[in-house]
Structure 1
Amino acid sequence: MRAVQVTGYGDVEKLELVEKPIPEPKSNEVLIKIKACAINNTEIWMREGAYGTDSKSGWKPEGVQFPRVPGSDITGCVVKAGSQINESMIGKDVVLFPFTSSGEEGSEHISEDMSFIGSEYDGGYAEYVVWPADLCYHMPLPDYIESAVFSVSGLTAWHMVEQIEAAPNETIMVTGANGGVGSLNVQIASKVFGAKVIAIVGDLALEKRMKELGAAHVLSYKSNHLADEILEVNGGPIDSVLDVVGDALFSTSLQVLKPGGKFCISGSAGGQKTNLDFRTLYLKHITLFGSVLGTRSEFKQMLEAISEGKIKPVIERTFPLEKAREAQTYFKNAGKLGKIILLPEEQ
């Protein structure tokens, strides 16, 4: 099969298109013919060494082992079943829950042995992948491409909204609102949990589309008076922040939060380190949440909400598998809206 491998830490030149054997499913696994794989920051930051270039670079103590096939947002069709798996699974269209874990229900994502597809296991930048059968779920939509945009970004967003306990009478600010996680934060917070959302983007040309996703107000982080604008459109301080940016908007976020407000972060595309005056936290009684992925129960809730039409796929564009370098480069461009998808075969 064709696959794209990361050969080490570095730029997109570390992505190489190779031929390798189709993997054989273990007794508890199925072999999936991949139809679509969405790109996430995760595999780019892993390649770039943003998580570290040693034992800190992956989810396991030994770090990422190269070469590795990245990609964790995967849809496809089951074409072979392991010896313990009922062959009725063959022919099923599935979406993959993106990690394995021995953690108890509700804490799978914080288990010490949590291992991520595309980091600890070969992932979706390929024509085939093997994965445990019990971590393969029915696609929420009939289209492979549309169903591929939710696994990591959607699970991350759903868990973030759950953590801040979003409620219909609250206002939530979403940073990076035009990205994969951000656009889903907007939808989930507004259309599933009923909160009022202030979406922060770079280009206000996206305002109409952000409001279609559920945003009540759309503001630009490029404004020199962003904090004042947030307070003005909300008529006062906000209840919570869902952040994927990090340093660039951290001080603004704390400034506009009400006393007792909540700040949840799952990414740091705008800076991984920040200056923090602890007095801001304790004098305003602010609660901070760190968030990565979520639980299998939340994944199932998310898939149900997608199938009911409450959450819709937001797709920027697709690339063929062999254009993985170009796709990852395009992914990092500012101003896009939604997910970038790799396709192993022509649709």
Structure 2
Amino acid sequence: MRAVRLHQTGGPEHLKVEELPDPQPPPGGAVVRIEAAALNHRDVFIRQGLYPKIQLPCILGADGAGTVESVGTGADPSWVGRKVVILPFDSWGDDPRIPGKDFLIRGMPRPGTFAEKIALPLDRLAPMPEHLSFPEAAALPLGGLTAYRALVTRGEVKKGDHVLVTGIGGGVATIAMLLAKALGAQVSVTSGSAEKLVRAKSMGAIATVSYKEKGWEKELANQAGRPPEVIIDSAGGPDFNALVLAVAPAGRIVIYGATRGPAEKLELPRLFFKQIDIRGTTMGSDAEFYEMLKLVAREKVKPLVDRVLPLSRYAEADQLMEKGDQMGKIVVDCRK
């Protein structure tokens, strides 16, 4: 089979498409012929050497969708031929609140999805929603699960809530917008890109503002008619206080990343006088993954795919991901 392997950290020239032996199905498991796989920032961070405990060489990729090709001894043979989505992690653990010590995201150290085939236990496979194409399904797992947990488990979003998703454009932010709408919420967005704001408006955002503009939180409330009860944020950074200003009294700020660094000079009095909750979140559990899939299937949610490139051009996809101009997920076709 062909696979993308990283042999040393640094530039994209270290990403090689190689011929490797086909994986064999483990006892009770299966081999999946991967049709499509999607990039995450994690893949770029590993290539750059910015991720802890990197083990090389490795096959990157946490997200993928495909068809079960074969099963191992003791596995139900009816799985063969099924279209599946791959769970992007192993071993969440027994506590639904936090990941356990054995939790691992797929794609380093264990083999990832940027390959023509992958061998996995059956409990790492889920039926693919019927309304999705393979690229759309591949765009769903890590981002969809992260967004679902942020919105539902940690954000407690309910029908009629006003939800602000910051930094629209990335995979988690775009699926968070779509899932929030599927939950019956009204959604506003911020971005530094006028083009992305226009796109978000066309997708149903009730308010769109540039976070580069001073006092954007007032403009957002003016456009939407009220401040957001819930904010979903991945940036943090020196302007984090703007979120404290923007959120409604007794609101919730849910953080799943810190791409702009630490929050500086946090105005603590505003937190307690406004009764604001700040909650951290990561990916999610098996149970949350299946609940996310149910929501996607029921409401016919389609993840936004920015573009699809062949596996043979993976290094180009990596560079596009690093540049960060995409609106939605960058996907590779593992058949090409």
Q: Compute the TM-score of the two structures, normalised by the length of structure 1.
A: 0.89
Counterpart of 2:272 in structure 1 is: 282
Relative to 1, partners in 2 of residues 1:213 and 1:248: Cα closer, same or farther, differing over 3 Å?
Answer: farther
RMSD: 2.0
Q: Find the partner of 2:195 among 184, 199, 205.
A: 205
Counterpart of 2:80 in structure 1 is: 90
Instruction: Please state if 1:187 is matched with 2:178.
Output: yes
Q: Give the counterpart letter for 2:213 in structure 1.
A: S
Aligned length: 333
Deviates more, 1:305-314 or 1:322-331: 305-314
Instruction: Please state if 1:292 is matched with 2:282.
Output: yes
* SS of match in other structure, 2:175: helix
Instruction: Please state if 1:196 is matched with 2:207.
Output: no
Relative to 1, partners in 2 of residues 1:309 and 1:172: Cα closer, same or farther, differing over 3 Å?
Answer: closer
Contact 2:44 2:321 in 1 (8 A): no
What is the rounded CA distance, in whole Å, between the counterparts of 2:204 and 2:178 in structure 1?
Answer: 6
Equivalent positions of 1:1-150 (< 5 A) are: 1-51=1-51, 57=52, 63-101=53-91, 103-104=93-94, 106-107=96-97, 110-141=99-130, 142-150=132-140
Equivalent positions of 1:114-263 (< 5 A) are: 114-141=103-130, 142-162=132-152, 163-192=154-183, 194-247=184-237, 249-263=239-253
* SS of match in other structure, 1:197: strand
Relative to 1, partners in 2 of residues 1:11 and 1:274: Cα closer, same or farther, differing over 3 Å?
Answer: farther
Contact 1:94 1:138 in 2 (8 A): yes
* SS of match in other structure, 2:59: coil
Q: Find the partner of 2:257 among 256, 261, 267.
A: 267
Deviates more, 1:130-139 or 1:198-207: 198-207
Contact 1:43 1:119 in 2 (8 A): no
Q: Give the counterpart letter for 1:342 in structure 2.
A: V
What is the rounded CA distance, in whole Å, between the counterparts of 1:309 and 1:290 in structure 2?
Answer: 27
Relative to 1, partners in 2 of residues 1:40 and 1:248: Cα closer, same or farther, differing over 3 Å?
Answer: farther
User: Deviation of residue 105 (structure 1)?
Assistant: 6.5
Contact 2:208 2:220 in 1 (8 A): no
Consecutive unaligned residues in structure 1, runs of 5 or more: 52-56, 58-62
What is the rounded CA distance, in whole Å, between the counterparts of 2:29 and 2:95 in structure 1?
Answer: 21
Contact 1:177 1:185 in 2 (8 A): no
Q: Give the counterpart letter for 1:77 in structure 2.
A: T
What is the rounded CA distance, in whole Å, between the counterparts of 2:332 and 2:315 in structure 1?
Answer: 11
Q: Deviations over 1:239-262 (max 9, x none)?
A: 221012221642211121233221
Deviates more, 1:32-41 or 1:285-294: 285-294
What is the rounded CA distance, in whole Å, between the counterparts of 1:35 and 1:28 in structure 2?
Answer: 22
Q: Deviations over 1:296-320 (max 9, x none)?
A: 2221122122223442121111111
Deviates more, 1:164-173 or 1:73-82: 164-173
* SS of match in other structure, 2:181: helix
Identity %: 29
Q: Give the counterpart letter for 1:188 in structure 2.
A: L
Contact 1:191 1:214 in 2 (8 A): no
